[in-house]
Amino acid sequence: MSATMTPQGTNHGANPGVSGPAKDKAVAAALGRSRKRADIIVRSLSYAATAIGLVFLASILVTLFYKGFGAMNLSVFTEVTRPPGSQGGLLNAIVGSAIQVALATIIGTPIGMLVGTYLAEYARGSSFGNAVRFVSDILLSAPSILIGLFVYQLLVLPFGGFSGWAGVAALSIIIIPIVVRTTEDMLALIPNTLREAVIGLGAPKWKMIVTVCWRAATSGIITGVLLGIARIAGETAPLLFTSLGNNAWSTNLNGPMPSLPITIYSYAGSPFQDWIELAWAGALLITLAVLLLNILARSVLRSRT
């Protein structure tokens, strides 16, 4: 790498006519050129890679807007799913998804917050705590289809049928580790002096956690919950085995329940043009909702930090 050449080194040069300092300079210049060239090549590749990533995102969004807006009209929101050929909508799927996602969030958030609190406030360094943290991180990235199969074995087979509750259970298992991660991370950011001050005033530990630590971590926890909602709103695979889907209007959580991702899945794979168009409209709705939730989550976090 070094441009300083030993006398022996200069003797092996390609140009025997030049020697001494002039030769050294030529070698150094050549070396500098090749290092610069390598740098420029890698930089350009890096720009290209970033451009590729952004082009993919743009392509997905443009496709969705182009196909989705073309299929969007009022009946998407006012009509339930109908057989091909008759003007149908996605109302039952939208409502079914909203119910299942809302219930899963209500069930999953407190559990996730308690686990995150346990990890941050009680488990520092304990081996049980490390095991819980490890398992929660595995669940965070575990294939969601397996969570669907698990709930199928646990809640569908024994009770003899697909149900909205099984879908809710699967979605809450998926949201728990997301809330755990953000809760623990946010609680870890709170300075210990704050905790010492509360304990020093004579407050019990639970009061310190609930009234001070949770309050200080509120924006972070809300971010985690919003990201979690965004994640489970688009989950399809676990619902295949749990709430199954339903082409009729249904808010009965004890029976098969419609949901937007499942409807998109079955309609997109169908041979009927009007169903495929409805699938695009649903895809646009779900993507907009998910991306807006993500942007909202980021702005909640940023407004506080």
Residues 166 to 205: which contact another protein by CB under 8 A?
173, 176-177, 180, 203-205
Question: Min. distance of Cβ 14 from another protein in angstroms?
Answer: 24
Q: Which of 194/295 has CB closer to another protein?
A: 295
Q: What is the DSSP string of the chain?
A: ------HHHHHT-S-TT--THHHHHHHHHHHHHHHHHHHHHHHHHHHHHHHHHHHHHHHHHHHHHHHHHHH--THHHHS----TTS----HHHHHHHHHHHHHHHHHHHHHHHHHHHIIIII-TT-HHHHHHHHHHHHHHHS-HHHHHHHHIIIIITTTTS--HHHHHHHHHHHHHHHHHHHHHHHHHHS-HHHHHHHHHTT--HHHIIIIIIHHHTHHHHHHHHHHHHHHHHT--HHHHTTTB--SS----TTS-B--HHHHHHHHHTSS-HHHHHHHHHHHHHHHHHHHHHHHHHHHHHHHH-
Residues 242 to 281: which contact another protein by CB under 8 A?
261, 264-265, 268-269, 279-280
Q: Which of 132/212 has CB closer to another protein?
A: 132
Q: Which of 117/163 has CB closer to another protein?
A: 117
Q: Give the range of 7-15, 55-63, 81-89, 216-224 binding another protein by CB under 8 A.
A: 55-63
Question: Min. distance of Cβ 72 from another protein in angstroms?
Answer: 15
x-marked contacts with another protein along 3-32 as a string, rule CB under 8 A: ------------------------------
Asked whether position 64 contacts another protein by CB under 8 A, the answer is: yes
Q: Give the range of 5-13, 77-85, 88-96, 231-239 binding another protein by CB under 8 A.
A: 231-239
Tell which one of 39, 102, 159, 251 touches another protein (CB under 8 A): 39
Asked whether position 291 contacts another protein by CB under 8 A, the answer is: yes
Asked whether position 131 contacts another protein by CB under 8 A, the answer is: yes
Q: What is the 3-state secondary structure (H, E, C) of 233-251?
A: HCCCHHHHCCCECCCCCCC
Handedness of CA 297, 299, 300, 305 (dihedral sign): positive
Tell which one of 25, 33, 215, 298 touches another protein (CB under 8 A): 298
Tell which one of 48, 189, 197, 248 touches another protein (CB under 8 A): 48
Question: Min. distance of Cβ 204 from another protein in angstroms?
Answer: 4
Q: Could you tell me the two tokens for 293?
A: 């939730």
Asked whether position 240 contacts another protein by CB under 8 A, the answer is: yes
Tell which one of 80, 108, 213, 241 touches another protein (CB under 8 A): 241
Asked whether position 209 contacts another protein by CB under 8 A, the answer is: yes
Asked whether position 162 contacts another protein by CB under 8 A, the answer is: no
